[in-house]
């Protein structure tokens, strides 16, 4: 049953990527804030579940004794948040940072919901 869940999650990610905004031009494109703003709540849930399932799958497939990967850290960091909390953080980020709508959703999740990729620090003014 667990393998079926992983397969379903991986399939969902592939379907979401294939149906992504760049699919018509034959090239993959990371979904960003502009795309996120047009997504229904159900699509947002599917997106977050998809990346979570993909990370879970990669961790399970790696097995014991293998080196840590981004997916392991991702799973460890996000296990204390609900899907709705993650979606709210992404929504809040794009609302507070309209100038960063081009930032990919996955980057926002990593920067806002984990310590893996700390938020960008403002550039220091030149002296």
In whole angstroms, how large is the CA radius of gyration of the chain?
A: 16
Tell me the per-residue pLDDT of 59-113, one tens digit each, with 9 for 90 and over.
888 777 665 577 887 888 888 899 999 999 999 999 999 999 999 999 899 888 8
Which one, of 16, 14, 116, lies nearest residue 75 by Cα? 116
Q: Supply 117's token pair.
A: 């990729």
Where residue 44 falls among pLDDT bands split at 50, 70, 90?
very high
Where residue 7 falls among pLDDT bands split at 50, 70, 90?
very low
% of the chain exceeding 70 in pLDDT: 67
Please give the pLDDT value at position 28. Answer: 73
Please give the pLDDT value at position 36. Answer: 96
DSSP state of 98: G
Q: What is the pTM of this model?
A: 0.68
Helices (H), 19-97: 33-38, 41-62, 70-78, 83-96
Q: How far is CA 43 from CA 12, 13, 36, 49, 72, in A?
A: 11, 11, 9, 10, 24
């Amino acid at each position: 049953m667990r393998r079926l869940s992983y397969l379903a999650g991986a399939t969902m990610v592939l379907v979401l990527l294939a149906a992504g905004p760049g699919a018509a031009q034959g090239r993959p494109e990371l979904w960003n804030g502009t795309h996120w703003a047009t997504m229904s709540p159900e699509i947002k849930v599917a997106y977050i579940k998809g990346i979570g399932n993909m990370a879970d799958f990669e961790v399970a497939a790696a097995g014991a004794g293998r080196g840590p990967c981004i997916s392991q850290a991702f799973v460890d960091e996000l296990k204390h948040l609900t899907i709705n909390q993650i979606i709210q953080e992404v929504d809040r980020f794009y609302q507070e940072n309209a100038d960063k709508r081009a930032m990919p959703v996955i980057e926002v999740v990593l920067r806002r919901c984990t310590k893996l990729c700390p938020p960008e620090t403002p550039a220091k003014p030149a002296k």
